[in-house]
Amino acid sequence: MSEVKVYPPPKMVERKCKCCCKSFQARAADVKRGWGLFCSKSCKAIKQEQKTHQHRDYTRGYWDRQEAFEKGHVEPTFSNAHQFSNEEHDCNKD
């Protein structure tokens, strides 16, 4: 029981973060997969948000509606909209 399996350290390559331009070490296997573009998860999140604006728009839209709802300006339409799209889907099937 003295044999200990030693895994070789992953091959690392130097990369430049696409967000903050900082040099960092990424695993070569990850780079091969198209990963290793960012030095950290937060940099990845920032860059992806800049690219798509999806997360920010969604968050802002949600809070706008939530705020408006709390002030009594709009009806809560989340569940209604969902039901409506389901109805539409059934109609198409017929």
Angle between helices 41-52 and 54-70 (to 10 degrees): 80
Q: Which is nearer to Zn ion, 28 or 46 (CB)?
A: 46
DSSP H or E stretch at residue 26: strand 23-27
Instruction: Return the number of the residue (19 or 26) whose C-beta is nearest Zn ion.
Output: 19
Rank residues 26 and 43 by Cβ distance to Zn ion and give the closer one: 43
Shortest CB 43 distance to Zn ion, Å:
3
| Residue 37: φ, ψ to 5° | -90, -20
Smallest distance, Å, CB 23 to Zn ion? 10
Separation CA 65–CA 25 (nearest Å): 43
| Residue 34 Ramachandran class (φ > 0 left, ψ -120 to 50 alpha, else beta) | left
Nearer to Zn ion, 35 or 78 (CB): 35
Smallest separation, CB 16 to Zn ion (Å)? 9
Residues near Zn ion (CB under 5 A): 17, 19-20, 22, 39, 43
